């Protein structure tokens, strides 16, 4: 996956996808890994700390507990760790919570991404991969979704924040030649899946013999 001598920053490195990505790099390369996470309370921080137990003491990994919304800290991190690649998987996720706390999503997902892009512009990197979301397609988008499909209006602050982050990334690619790649994942599942996601909730209910919650009349 990587070449010897790389120093790879993974944001959200203690999360579901980020922690798996750290382990994958450790298995398939000898690159240095910087695992960045602020262990916020969007869900139980103890779950995230458990996610990193397999690699937190690995000499190939540098653990950093910090928010990527801190511009000064990001400039310092990129310089001190000589970051050459970025995998930006840190974010506030979830449609319903974003409706209740839109300013939090704007701060983390838009301003935080901007902080990382600025750091990558200041200390050029070879690759900047950022996780967007399928929610960017929004209402009115033609199904099945394609990368080159017309984008509808996002139906939540979360979707809007991810679309705004995409546009900021594309702007930095065009204006400053930051090599940005945007991913639009759909319903990813697997070990360490967040506790608030449908697959986790449904699986737990099935295992415990509990009925699934039904919203509306169940016609959708």
Peptide bond into 43 cis (omega under 30): no
- Alpha-carbon torsion, ordered 32, 186, 50, 74, to 10 deg: 40
DSSP-derived letter for residue 151 is P
Residue 178: phi and psi, rounded to 5, are -70, 125
* Tokens 């990197």 found at: 125
Whether the Cβ atoms of residue 83 and residue 127 lie closer than 8 Å to each other? no
Alpha carbon 193 to its chain's center? 13
Region at 209 (left for phi over 0; alpha for psi -120 to 50; beta for the rest) = left
Of the candidates 92, 158, 172, 189, the residue annotated as catalytic is 158
DSSP state of 153: B
* CB neighbour list of residue 144: distance below 8 Å, 6 or more residues apart: none
Residue whose C-alpha is closest to residue 75's, from 33, 123, 9: 123
Q: Is 158 a catalytic residue?
A: yes
Catalytic residues: 158
């Amino acid at each position: 996956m990587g070449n010897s001598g790389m120093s790879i920053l993974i944001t959200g490195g203690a999360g579901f996808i980020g922690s798996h990505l750290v382990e994958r790099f450790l298995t398939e390369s000898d690159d240095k890994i910087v695992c960045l996470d602020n262990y916020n309370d969007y869900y139980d921080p103890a779950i995230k700390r458990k996610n990193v137990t397999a690699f937190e003491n690995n000499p190939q990994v540098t653990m950093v507990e910090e928010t990527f919304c801190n511009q000064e800290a990001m400039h310092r991190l990129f310089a001190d760790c000589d970051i050459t690649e970025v995998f930006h998987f840190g974010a506030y996720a979830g449609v319903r919570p974003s409706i209740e706390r839109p300013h939090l999503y704007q701060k983390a997902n838009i301003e935080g991404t901007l902080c990382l892009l600025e750091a990558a512009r200041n200390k050029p990197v070879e690759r900047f991969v950022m996780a967007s979301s399928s929610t960017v397609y929004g209402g009115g988008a033609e199904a099945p979704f394609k990368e080159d499909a017309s984008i509808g209006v996002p139906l939540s602050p979360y979707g809007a924040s991810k679309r705004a982050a995409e546009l900021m990334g594309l702007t930095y690619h065009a204006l400053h030649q930051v090599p940005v790649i945007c991913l639009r994942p759909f319903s990813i599942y697997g070990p360490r899946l967040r506790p608030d996601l449908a697959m986790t909730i449904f699986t737990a209910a099935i295992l415990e013999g509990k009925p699934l919650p039904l919203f509306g009349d169940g016609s959708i």
